[in-house]
């Protein structure tokens, strides 16, 4: 063996320059952020199920947005009420969801 065990790892932190340490730290941070965003996307924005069967979802007259969200959640069409409400508020100018029947499936995402 050549002197010092562990010296011939992929890289030796002791021998690295400050610039290389910073680059590696930034790389690890970027990977962590990307992984976190991927998990967040899956938990909050992806389809709640893989079921492609379309159902008719009914929104009654005078049904509030909160009641509609509760119904969507209880029937398994959305994962997270708060995230869906936020997206609905961003994408819609109306304060309430228009009454009527909607053909939706549980494999649709929030967008």
Write out the DSSP string of 15-27: GS-HHHHHHHHHH
Domain definitions of the chain by residue range: 13-44, 54-105
Quick one: pLDDT band at residue 68, thresholds 50, 70, 90?
very high
Q: Tell me the mean pLDDT in the region 51-66.
A: 86
Res 26 pLDDT > 90: yes
Q: How does residue 108 score in pLDDT terms, banded at 50, 70 and 90?
A: confident
Confidence of residue 91 (pLDDT cuts 50, 70, 90): confident
Is the model's pLDDT at 8 over the cut of 60? no
Please provide the DSSP assignment of 25-94 as one string.
HHHHHHHHHHHHHHHHHHHHTS-S-----EEEEEE-TT--HHHHHHHHHHTTS-S-HHHHHHHHHHH-SS
Instruction: Please check the confidence at residue 13 and state whether its pLDDT lies above 70.
Output: no
Work out the pLDDT band at 35, boundaries 50, 70, 90. Answer: very high
């Amino acid at each position: 063996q050549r002197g010092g065990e562990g010296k011939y790892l992929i890289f030796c932190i002791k021998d690295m320059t400050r610039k290389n340490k910073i680059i590696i730290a930034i790389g690890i941070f970027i990977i962590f952020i990307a992984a976190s965003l991927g998990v967040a996307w899956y938990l909050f924005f992806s389809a709640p199920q893989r079921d492609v069967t379309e159902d008719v979802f009914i929104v009654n007259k005078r049904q509030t947005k909160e009641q509609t969200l509760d119904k969507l959640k209880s029937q398994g069409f959305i994962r997270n009420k708060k995230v869906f409400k936020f997206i609905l508020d961003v994408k819609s100018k109306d304060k309430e969801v228009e009454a009527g029947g909607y053909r939706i499936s549980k494999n649709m995402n929030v967008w």
